[in-house]
Amino acid sequence: HFGGGGFGEEQFALLGAGAEFSVVKDSDWGFAATPAFALAKRCMLAIDADRSWWAQETAGYRTCIGSLWPLECSAKNNVIVGVPQDWGPAAAASAVQSAPCAPPSHAARDPPASSAAARAADA
């Protein structure tokens, strides 16, 4: 899809290189506060937005992009969550054990319903 988003192949390759840039130096796990991580994170989001778009347009999924928490758990901490388009919101939330892209505290505060119950609630 990159060509339709205003990026040519070369620009998209540069974004990919930026997303793969290693921001962890000598086991420094405070990398999330560094300018290098901020740049790598923006590149990762651009790449993942393209992947998310593809999953929506080509494969028919509802998607959202989130991050593993805390950010320092991994330098590559983006997560794309996708569920089939025909699943209702409650079933989608149940499938990922919390509401898609909710803050980390949401899962502990509101335990998910079973998938069958969630699909019935959406019907």
Residue 2 in domain:
no
pLDDT digits (tens, 9 = 90+) for 45-58: 888 998 999 999 99
Q: Can you give the residue range of the structural domain that contains 78?
A: 9-98
Provide the pLDDT confidence category of residue 107 given band limits of 50, 70 and 90. Answer: very low
Asked whether the beta carbons of 36 and 21 are under 8 A apart, the reply is yes
Residue 117 in domain:
no
Q: What is the pTM of this model?
A: 0.63
Secondary-structure breakdown of the chain: helix, strand, coil percentages, each rounded to the nearest 5: 55, 10, 35
pLDDT digits (tens, 9 = 90+) for 12-41: 787 777 777 766 665 566 777 788 888 888
Residue 115 in domain:
no
Residue 23 in domain:
yes
Q: Give the whole-angstrom CA distance, residue 72 versus residue 84.
A: 30
Q: Domain total for the chain? A: 1
